[in-house]
Amino acid sequence: MDQDQSIPVNHDDFIHDIAYNFYGTRLATCGSDRCIKIWDWNRQTGLWILNESISAHDSSVVRLSWAHPEFGQVLASCSLDCTVRIWVEQETNLKNSGTRWRGLTPLTDSKAAVHSIAFAPEYTSLSIATASSDGKVRLYSPTDSVRLENWTVNCFIDFVPGGATDADGPLSVSWCKSRFSSPHMLVVGGSRHKNVKIFQLLNNAFVELAELAQYDSHVLDVDWAPTMGRSYHLIATACADGHIRIYKFWSDPELAGTRLTGSLFVRDGDDDDGDEEARDQPRDDASDDDSISDDSISDDDDDDDSDDSDASVSGGGGGGGGGDDEGDAESEGSDAAATGSVFGGTAGQKRRARATAAAAAAAAATAAGPRSELVSDISVQPSVPIRRIRWNSTGTLLVSSSDDGVVRMWRMTPSGTWREMAAVSAESA
């Protein structure tokens, strides 16, 4: 849409979250009035039409998440009443009838408020991660993938060993959306615990891959950007100190040293100039073999020396007055042979050195494992807590909302810095 549009959602209290479905044609809102409202976009009029209003929980509804449409119209909600609810649309029932969306059995394993939920990417089976203030992240899957009636805990992350309470603040969770890198990864942020960790689901258990830098302030939200062909991942964190921090993360350590040069990926440390010089110089078939041995170079030197010796003997038979010339010829011949040996060995030695360095770098990267790097620390002015952050579908635009009632959009400049490109105030809207 090219213009602003106001939706009269008619919630009776604060709105905590809004969530679009996969196609952006359906919108769900939730708030402190314990209700969820679902809206459909009318293509003809361009207006949002109320589909259903659901009395969903016994306390404030704080987060929503849509499943991928290949699993049907499935919506999840979490609340301060310590439960998670799964909602499935009944398309045969009338809209606004109170029965259009059927709530399944509540998920009640948490002992504290559930502040964050996220359905897993579509390339996995239908499952949802929930993060609650008791310090645990739980992964649920339905026992029946058709009826979706009963959901059970497959595994969990003990993010706060020993447990936590509501006073310790919320946890937040976000999945890696790429199916081509290491699969089943997610990032978890802890509020009062001031840390962010990356986990991977392996053999039905979560394994910690990396921990991002420790924070001096509460972490209020995290979001994992779509990769869109990048050799690295982008992860954004929102903090109570008014900062948005963006990290690069390499799940494959061998890609951590690549950079884009022209149309080729080149590893840091490669000698591009040496390669260009080698390409510029004429090379015969023998020089094309990278495995030039020192013995072959030595044999060539011996041949050159013998040729110089024959030349000096022939010169000596020409007359007694050629002694000085013979000495000069011998000196020049030996210098040429030495020079040929040095330059003949340099290309091979450089190639061998580069191969050795590349192998050592690969071995070191593999030993080091996945790694992360802080690439941007955005300070929002005025300094107020950043409550929510979200990437766009290509991972090139970041949107944040904060306690000053302003939604800001951030984009990376060609120089690599992130700049605010737009801001929308709730008061002006």
91-137 pLDDT, tens digit each: 999 999 999 999 998 999 999 999 999 999 988 889 999 999 999 99
- The predicted structure's pLDDT at residue 146: 86
User: Please, which pLDDT band fits residue 208 given cuts at 50, 70 and 90?
Assistant: very high
SS3 249: strand
Mean pLDDT lowest for which of 45-54, 229-238, 274-283, 376-385?
274-283
Q: Is the model more confident about 159 or about 310?
A: 159
- The predicted structure's pLDDT at residue 216: 81
Which among 400, 363, 395 is positioned nearest to 378, based on CA atoms?
Answer: 400
SS3 28: strand
**pLDDT over threshold 90, residue 347:** no
Q: Is the pTM of this model over 0.75?
A: no
**pLDDT over threshold 70, residue 270:** no
User: Please, which pLDDT band fits residue 288 given cuts at 50, 70 and 90?
Assistant: very low
Cβ distance 147 to 130 under 8 Å? Answer: no
Mean pLDDT lowest for which of 235-239, 349-353, 369-373, 376-380?
349-353
User: Please, which pLDDT band fits residue 319 given cuts at 50, 70 and 90?
Assistant: very low
- The predicted structure's pLDDT at residue 180: 79
SS (H, E, C) 85-127: EEEEECCCCCCCCCCCEEECCCECCCCCCEEEEEECCCCCCCC
- Tens digits of residue pLDDT in 7-63: 888 899 999 999 999 999 999 999 999 999 999 999 999 999 999 999 999 999 999
26: Cβ contacts below 8 Å, ≥ 6 apart: 20, 38, 39, 40, 41, 51, 66, 73
Q: What is the mean pLDDT of the chain?
A: 80
Pairwise CA distance, residues 404 & 425, whole Å:
8
**pLDDT over threshold 60, residue 161:** yes
**pLDDT over threshold 50, residue 201:** yes
φ/ψ of residue 91, rounded to 5: -65, -20
**pLDDT over threshold 50, residue 292:** no
- The predicted structure's pLDDT at residue 162: 84
**pLDDT over threshold 90, residue 387:** yes
Which among 87, 69, 65, 76 is positioned nearest to 19, based on CA atoms?
Answer: 65
Mean pLDDT lowest for which of 19-23, 113-117, 225-229, 339-343?
339-343
Residue type (1 letter), 99: T
- What residue has token string 């990032």? 187
Which among 117, 113, 135 is positioned nearest to 127, based on CA atoms?
Answer: 117
Burial class (CB in 10 A: 0-12, 13-18, 19+), 162: exposed
**Cis check: omega of the bond before 8, within 30 degrees of 0:** no
Pairwise CA distance, residues 354 & 232, whole Å:
24
Cβ distance 383 to 223 under 8 Å? Answer: no
Distance of alpha carbon 359 from its chain centroid, rounded? 26
pLDDT mean over 267-290? 46
Q: Is the model more confident about 76 or about 333?
A: 76
